[in-house]
Amino acid sequence: MGTKVGFIGLGTMGMPMAKNLLNAGYEMVVYDINQEAVKEMVALGSTEVKTPRETAETCEFVMTMLPEVPHNDKVYLGKDGLIEGAHEGLTLIDCSTTDSVSTIRMHDEVVKKGIRMIDAPVMGIQPNAEQGTLIMDVGGELDDIEACRGILETVGARVVHAGPIGSGKMLKLVNNLMQGTFLCMASEAIALVKSTGVDLEVFLELFKGNLVRNLEFGAFKIVGKNFDPLFKTSLMLKDMRLGLQTAALHGASTPLAAVAKDMLQMTANHGMADLDCTSVYRMYEKKTNS
């Protein structure tokens, strides 16, 4: 291909992403404070540079995968950083999971130098990075994203345009908030099942078939603001009370379920007991807009 791509951040996710780009025929230029990772990429045919600035100076595209906001700030805006290697036609692709505010701030400094930048945090885990099946959740100008599409589609199986710069980071954090909450919810449920003596394998089989269907159904009703009752708030609230009583009887800890019950009770108290239980969304909407 002849296109030079710089890669900064050869960690758990970054290394397999960089290898996939190399294997796809891109000329790879790499920088990392971990010399062992750099040596591995050099042995495969990449070129090493000593600073982020050199990476920018020698490449058309630079992709970063860094741990925290301070690392991003240093690599992009610090001494010998990417911004100091600015040249016409350079595009920066920030794949780090950081917040949208710092990303927009960084972008505003970058574009002053005439550099293009998109944020493209990844959804997936290490095997997805190795297989090139990540979901690329991208924020930025559509023309800039199209210029990077070949790179993005090499490391990912799907490229989703989230919106303007920072939107990719925002959706990634929402996704991880939801995932973290779900993991705690699943932990509560499994611990409760084990405490009751019910067969865990039976529960997992039921859980597997029922969960996605319920989540998708609930989400579509909420987005459509269709709260015609298919399962009333009052009935869900009754079942939540019974479930919490069962948990207490068996000494199981269910703090997330307790919060959910309180939100449903609040929904009922606001006159929505006979609406669908998805009307609990209105309590979150009310808090967001208050």
CA distance 85 to 88: 10
Q: CA of 221: how far to CAs of 5, 13, 135, 162, 275, in Å?
A: 44, 36, 25, 22, 12
DSSP 59: -
Return the active site residues: 172
- Structure tokens, 247: 């948990």
**Residue environment code for 99-119, b if the CB has 16+ CB neighbours within 10 A, otherwise e:** ebebbbebbeebeeeebbbbb
**Which DSSP string corresponds to 139-154?**
ES-HHHHHHHHHHHHH
Q: SS3 of 251, please?
A: coil
Burial class, 63, CB count within 10 angstroms (exposed 0-12 / middle 13-18 / buried 19+): buried
CA distance 68 to 72: 7
- What is the CB neighbour count within 10 angstroms for residue 193? 18
Q: Which residues partner with 94 through β-bridges?
A: 64, 119
